[in-house]
Amino acid sequence: MPRPGHDRAAARQALARCRLPPTLGDHRQAARHYRPSVELLTAVNMAIQVAAPLLLTGEPGTGKTQVADFIGDYFAIPVFKFQVRSTSSAEDMKYDFDAVGYLHWAQSAGHQVATRVRRDMLKPRAARRSFLKPRALWQAYTCEGPSVVLIDEIDKAPRDFPNDLLHELDQHCFQHPFDDTEWITPKSGRPPILVVTSNDERRLPDAFLRRCIFHRIELTPELIEAAVAAHLGDFPQLDADTRKAARERFWQLRASDLDKKPSTAELLVWLCILSARGTTAEELRSRPLAELPGIGALVKDAQDREVIA
């Protein structure tokens, strides 16, 4: 926002010219710059080889979700995503039934049709199929070729959610919701590559873990340097020394007693902000942590701000 007295028309023009850095608003675009470690690539290859879910854990912001897009981009195959919520069930991964739309259709069809519809609700091949919408897993199963399914932040789901997927993980099929004689199986003959992420908010059931290939993404200096190098186009105004100074202050923040430590995602956003405002290495090194430019992109908790004050 401009300060009082500034030309508002010029400010509007500047706002119209403002563009997001290429990889901040597009996960698929960002995946092209993803630099997985050798250990992560090994885990990906193992999961593909044995058709097992790849379970990725680690701090929020370390790039777990991007692994699915990276795999999809590398093999040029579609990625179907399911964002887990606290109310999610395993059925939500397979399909969504528009019960409200179905009810409205039944009511608008008249008494005779509605009566027939009520009878059809007990039949396996009812007209309800038209109100059935396939979701991530079902969509992947209908692909002619390979695909990726992402189950993002599975630790947010109710406890039964992982266990309710065990049959699909073992047998790679599930029963049609309206026909107990019909089974949905991968059209390509091979199950999709399944990527599951967790922020370690709670432990997952042992039966689910047993079926997974596990890898934890650790936040290391090597990972940070690789991520920064891969996204140089997002912060063109920062020279090598300024980027180095920014990484040094980032690690100083990480070493502080913060409840929510900044991670890779926050660092990349911060570098974009520093680039936009023309920050210098000297400015970064001379200021206290609490007075770093754009500190709100890194420290997002009031108590943490007090820690570094």
Could you tell me if residue 1 is inside a domain?
A: no
Could you tell me if residue 13 is inside a domain?
A: no
Could you tell me if residue 168 is inside a domain?
A: yes
pLDDT of residue 30: 74
Domain containing residue 57: CATH number: 3.40.50.300
Same domain assignment for residues 154 and 231: no
Residue 4 banded pLDDT, cuts 50, 70, 90: low
Same domain assignment for residues 207 and 224: no
| Percent above pLDDT 70 for the chain | 87
Same domain assignment for residues 154 and 289: no
Residue whose pair of structure tokens reads 């091949």 in the numeric block: 125
Q: What is the mean pLDDT of residues 74-99?
A: 92
Residue 183 banded pLDDT, cuts 50, 70, 90: very high
| pTM tops 0.85 | no
Asked whether the predicted pLDDT for residue 215 surpasses 90, the reply is yes
Same domain assignment for residues 59 and 202: yes
User: What is the number of structural domains in the chain?
Assistant: 2
- Residue-range definition of the domain harbouring residue 76: 27-216
Same domain assignment for residues 207 and 254: no
Could you tell me if residue 22 is inside a domain?
A: no
Looking at 216, 250, 283, which one is the last position of a domain?
A: 216
Same domain assignment for residues 151 and 235: no
pLDDT digits over 21-36, tens only? 766 666 677 777 888 9
Could you tell me if residue 11 is inside a domain?
A: no
> If you average pLDDT over every residue of the chain, what do you get?
87
Looking at 216, 248, 281, which one is the last position of a domain?
A: 216
Could you tell me if residue 42 is inside a domain?
A: yes
Same domain assignment for residues 250 and 188: no
pLDDT of residue 111: 44
Same domain assignment for residues 167 and 246: no
Phi, psi of 237 (to 5 degrees): -85, 0
Same domain assignment for residues 225 and 187: no
Same domain assignment for residues 122 and 271: no
Same domain assignment for residues 57 and 206: yes
Could you tell me if residue 299 is inside a domain?
A: yes
Looking at 164, 188, 216, which one is the last position of a domain?
A: 216
pLDDT digits over 8-18, tens only? 777 676 666 66
Could you tell me if residue 249 is inside a domain?
A: yes
